Amino acid sequence: MSRSAVVIGARGGIGGALAAALVEEGQFATVHALARPDIDILDEASIAAAAARVAAGPPPALVIVATGLLHSATRGPEKSLKELDAAWLTEVIGVNAIGPALVAKHFLPLLPRGERTVFAALSARVGSISDNRLGGWYGYRAGKAALNQLIRTLSVEMKRLNDRAIVIGLHPGTVDTRLSQPFQKNVAPGQLFDAERAAVQLLDVIEGLGVKDSGNLIAWDGVTITP
């Protein structure tokens, strides 16, 4: 039976590269490349509508949420406590955690039961509480930490519904996109990936996942990151 794949955030650097790579690989009958204005991850009605459109075709066996927010045209990640702002914290945590959770709410029920399925969301190493030794970036760290907890919780529920389901957080490394551009000068040589390479690395990780990995945060090189 034919299956589809869904990439949400397909106009971003990594999301676009993931959608293109999935089309090129040809493993899925349909690749849904979703982005604004077709879907807004902070608008549950638009998420539900997008899920309904996907449900009209081949059922999705792979859903990737490739959205994220670190900075905007006017705001950057907080360097100190005095920079905390309620509105910015709400926006950053909304995009990085609440949005993917709402996507899961509407898209996970579309995944077929009794077979291997993958729901993946792009997270980040800085969301690891145990790995936080530098401080700063309050909103982004908190948003990704919340996402990692949501991923773990979703994996527990999905295991009850389909013991072959995999729900995973993925750390893509530092990728040459708008999200990372202001911070690339601190990246070690050889550790800044173009979007196409990052997409291939992430799809390789997804291909190698087993049910034992469900609920974890896994880096681009296949290494599990401690929460």
| Res 183: pLDDT | 61
| Res 59: pLDDT | 98
| Res 174: pLDDT | 87
d(CA 147, CA 123): 7
Cβ(7)–Cβ(31) under 8 Å? Answer: yes
Q: Phi and psi for 168 in degrees, rounded to 5?
A: -145, 145
The distance in angstroms from the start CA to the end CA of the chain is: 37
d(CA 149, CA 164): 20
d(CA 152, CA 138): 21
Residue type, 93: I
Cβ(19)–Cβ(10) under 8 Å? Answer: yes
| Res 181: pLDDT | 61
Q: Phi and psi for 201 in degrees, rounded to 5?
A: -60, -45
Tokens representing 12 are: 């971003």
Burial class (CB in 10 A: 0-12, 13-18, 19+), 88: buried
User: Mean pLDDT of residues grouped by 10 in the chain (227 residues)?
Assistant: 95 96 97 96 97 98 97 93 97 98 98 97 96 95 98 98 98 80 64 91 98 98 94
Cβ(47)–Cβ(104) under 8 Å? Answer: no
Q: What CATH architecture does domain 4-225 belong to? A: 3-Layer(aba) Sandwich (3.40)
Cβ(168)–Cβ(219) under 8 Å? Answer: no
| Res 9: pLDDT | 97
The contacts of residue 114 (CB under 8 Å, 6+ apart) are 162, 164
pTM listed for this prediction: 0.94
